[in-house]
Amino acid sequence: MKNWKWIIFAAVFALMASLPLYTGSYFLHTIFIVMIYMSLALSWDMLVRTGQISFGIAGLFGVGSYASCVLQAFTPGLNPLISIVFGGAIAGIVALMIGLATLKLRGMYFAIITLAMAEIFRVIIRNLPDTWTGGAMGIVLPNAIFNGDLKLTYWMVMTITLITIVVSEIFNKSRIHFAITSIRNDEIVAMSSGIDIFKYLVAIFVITSILQGLVGGAYTQIYGSVNPDANFSATWSLLPLAMALFGGMHTTWGPIIGALILGLASEYLKLFIPYGYLIVYGIIIILVILFLPKGIMGLIQKFTEKK
């Protein structure tokens, strides 16, 4: 079964990589937006595997966005790819400081702190000197990355998504998986087994935040602008969370499936309810928690076990 999964993945990867060669710009744009959400959903799920719930995706996405954009604005000749990496690095440093201060907390206490992150960062950005961050209006870059070349942009986003998938699989297939599962199931047992819980939680929080910062940096370079309301929007937390829940948590494949289905559905919903489609996502989260706690992957596993 495992081999079949990787054969399917390789076939899908080859298909996705070749899409720019024979599809139109609108569809291509839709797919790479879906991949952006997919990366965020996967990075969120990686932290959830430890038992810690975070609502800080929007905050770290926004930090990566601003770090990338500010660096690019002050050094116009710099390769935008370096700015994207810089955005990921700054998000990781911010996460390290937050993690060292807060990851002694558990459950809803940590979740509440991360929930406040986006709003705190938004207020900070708004109140910094306009010459640094552009204030409430944000920053507009002279050019989008690759001068707006959609094919190169698509392949860049796909590369970031692939990196996220690889990191997720490392988490699932290496010794880290046993430590993470042990921490989630019973911290006392994990501690008695010699696992340094705090060290693991901080490390995983930093790694997942770097990925979110990378995605934020890439998003900013793609659209050539950043502003506090858009880049710290709750959308960047709610949609990835819904995708991971819908597809199935604690797996790599669950958030991928969830992102594909809900990401494509969101484009459809935006045409009919552009100002209310997030309500639909909220309803999906409630229904999944009530009736499908293990998501689509749970259904697939049930079906394969019966076979």
Alpha carbon distance 219, 28 (integer Å): 15
Q: Is 184 helix (H, G, I), strand (E, B) or coil?
A: helix
Q: Where are the domains of the chain?
A: 24-233
Phi, psi of 245 (to 5 degrees): -65, -45
Segment 209-230, tens digit of pLDDT: 999 999 999 999 999 999 999 9
Q: Are 80 and 67 in contact (CB under 8 A)?
A: no
Alpha carbon distance 265, 107 (integer Å): 31
pLDDT for res 306: 57
Q: Is 248 helix (H, G, I), strand (E, B) or coil?
A: coil
CA terminus-to-terminus distance, the chain: 12
pLDDT for res 10: 79
Q: Which amino acid is at 95?
A: A
Give the residue ranges of DSSP H helices in 186-234.
187-192, 197-223, 228-231
Query: What is each CA distance from 278 to 88, 115, 289, in whole angstroms?
Result: 27, 17, 17
How far does CA 180 lie from the centroid of its chain? 19
Task: Give the single-character DSSP code of 77.
Answer: T
Other Cβ atoms within 10 Å of 283 Cβ, number: 11
pLDDT for res 1: 47
The token duo for 158 is 């796909």
Alpha carbon distance 19, 165 (integer Å): 19
pLDDT for res 62: 95
Q: Is 134 helix (H, G, I), strand (E, B) or coil?
A: coil
State the average pLDDT for the chain: 88
pLDDT for res 2: 54
Alpha carbon distance 129, 121 (integer Å): 14
249 contact partners, CB below 8 Å, separation of at least 6: 45, 48, 49, 255, 294, 295
Phi, psi of 52 (to 5 degrees): -95, 125
Total number of residues shown for the chain: 307
For the chain of 307 residues, list the mean pLDDT of each consecutive stretch of 10: 68 84 86 94 94 91 96 91 96 95 84 88 89 87 90 94 94 86 86 88 95 96 92 89 90 91 82 75 79 82 67
